[in-house]
Structure 1
């Protein structure tokens, strides 16, 4: 396996970075969805 060549702590760090990246992406999507709702209905969200 390729992962065996990566030290365990480095592998964990990469996985953590990937998870944070996914969370950031989801947060951005949520913000955009709220903005779209705000534009559509004229309510102030957040």
Structure 2
């Protein structure tokens, strides 16, 4: 069951962390997802934040 992102959370980060871990399946162990790192360092885009 897919849970929607809570209010104020980035929908993409929520999806990666809670709903679809298969997104990171192609990464090596302990390798960071470039999209997730981008959000951690540069912030979350306003259009992706759940209202």
Structure showing the higher helix proportion among its residues: 1
Q: What TM-score comes out, normalization by structure 1 length?
A: 0.27
Larger Rg belongs to: 1
Q: What TM-score comes out, normalization by structure 2 length?
A: 0.25
Bigger RCO of structures 1 and 2 (CA < 8 A, at least 6 apart): 2
